[in-house]
A and B are shown apart, each in its own frame.
Chain A
């Protein structure tokens, strides 16, 4: 096929058309309107960069950005440690390892909204009941303040994604040559040494993959946030995606919301491009 070939274009066109209409055109269209006072229907004044300047003094946006970053870092660390731990656990040769894999992965298949509602019940009623049973006061009143709201979201996120990250680690762990491990065992290396000296370096690429996957998931989190805390109490658990949504659809400030969405795009793109760069660099080194 080449560019002059009609079939090339006809094969390509449907997908390209959809992509342009659904992603690129709205993106540019929206970008243009960030320089105006657009309300979703019409724009009357050209504002230049005013919308963007306003963002930097918007305490609500800044709070949600800080919260999102805090959430992302905490989640990444826990999800990856736990995901790797689970991966190591289910690759041991025990009888139930297949069943374990099934169980740990399961939450990942269910929608974030549904999981958020389930966990709302767990945190509010379940934790409370366990707290009363064992007289543990820290289990009471969950989701009622900023701190438990934060940890609630982290726990939900970890529970949902650890199984997913586990799968990624497993596929790398299984790539570790068996002979190498057996040889090391014969040479008297302990289980810990075998993990740390042999498996770990070979699995290292999985870290980059998992790290960025969890990072971008954490940044774009919305459904879970909505169902679990809906940003409350007093907006303290409102993450970036929700902040943008609320600016647009509860306060109807469309142009301003879109400006925030552009900043959001830049943040996400920087994260993703860093990943591409790191990957490329590693490939060169190998």
Chain B
């Protein structure tokens, strides 16, 4: 006889498996239809393709100029996140170690900026940056520093406060500069929060659509911007679009499987604080 507890566990397992399958069904439909011809999608959406051909993927790869888009996405994300980490951790350190009123005001300013939604500044922002010829990749990276620094400083600030000031003082007595103290002693101790900051910003910037759509030209377009290629006004080609969407998702999924634990923890931490 199966114990009541085991029985309920089996039921629970079955139920949750069903939910998980439903959860995954959009991905299933995307992938199987990405292998079908235009014709086949019209007559058969739900079942497996009659033949596993990679033609759509090859075509989508070429049409999307995928390697170029991937490189653009990578450059923008990498450089943005890098400068966010460098400058936010520095600023947070400065703010946390300066106990003056002014410093408190600055901190408040950074936090208050989180209240301003992107749509409230996008129109003047684009107009101003357009006038100084900065609607390009460099301008975009700088904008990401502006938009990303608030939350990152907030997270770093909490972490820096957790590091005893006596460490700074001891190093200071040894004659180390602030610069050296920060990079050799403090920053390494901030590693866990740096991982969190990195994850949150990577997810945001990699997937961001609206800001780059206003800033970047066709040549420097990132992956999300390219997705419109198959959704033109006069052409909607689902067989290629679905292959393109699948290609676009692959880098994210690969990263997710390598750093799953960090990602989930990082996101939870970012949300709760």
Binding site for B on A (CB under 8 A): 1-3, 5, 7-9, 11-12, 14-16, 18-19, 21-27, 29-30, 33, 40-41, 86, 89-90, 92-97, 99-114, 117-119, 121-122, 125-126, 128-130, 133, 159, 164, 167-168, 170-171, 209, 213, 219-220, 222-223, 226-227, 240-241, 244-245, 248-249, 254, 257-258, 261-262, 264-265, 268-269, 272-273
- When distances are taken between beta carbons in the complex, the residues of chain A under 8 Å from B142 are 18, 21-22
State whether B119 touches A241 (Cβ < 8 A).
yes
Not counting A122-B26, A220-B118, a sample of 11 additional A-B residue pairs whose C-beta atoms are within 8 angstroms of each other reads A19-B110, A112-B207, A113-B209, A117-B231, A117-B241, A121-B238, A125-B41, A129-B46, A209-B271, A262-B120, A268-B120
Are B209 and A105 in contact, CB atoms less than 8 angstroms apart?
A: no
Size of the B side of the interface (Cβ < 8 Å), in residues, is 87
- Residue of A with least CB distance to B271: A168
A110 with B125: CB separation less than 8 A:
no
B54 contacts partner chain A, Cβ-Cβ < 8 Å: no
B2 within 8 A of A: no
Q: Residues of B at under 8 Å CB distance from A?
A: 9, 12-13, 16-17, 19-20, 23-27, 29-30, 33, 41, 45-46, 83, 87-88, 90-91, 93-95, 97-98, 100, 102-103, 106, 109-110, 113-125, 127-128, 142-143, 145-147, 149-150, 153, 177-179, 182, 203, 206-210, 214, 224, 227, 231, 238, 241-242, 245, 248-249, 252-253, 256, 260, 263-264, 267-268, 271-272
For residue A27, which residues in chain B have a CB less than 8 angstroms away from its CB?
A: 116, 120-121, 124
Asked if A109 contacts B203 (CB within 8 A), the reply is: yes
Contact B16 A100 (CB under 8 A): yes
Write the chain A residue with the least CB distance to B127: A40
Query: Are B209 and A268 touching (Cβ within 8 A)?
Result: no
- Closest-by-CB residue of B relative to A28 is B124
Number of A-B contacts (CB under 8 A): 251
A269-B115 contact given A30-B123, A113-B227, CB 8 Å threshold:
yes
Contact B26–A222 (Cβ < 8 Å): no
Asked if A108 and B90 make an inter-chain contact with CB atoms under 8 angstroms apart, the answer reads no
11 pairs across A/B with beta carbons < 8 Å? A11-B91, A12-B106, A16-B106, A22-B146, A25-B128, A96-B13, A109-B207, A114-B207, A114-B227, A168-B268, A261-B121
Q: How many angstroms from the CA of A154 to the CA of B10 in the assembled complex? A: 32
With contact pairs A29-B128, A33-B124, A213-B271 given, residues A3 and B102 touching in the complex (Cβ less than 8 Å): yes
| A111 with B20, Cβ < 8 A, contacts A24-B113, A220-B117 known | no
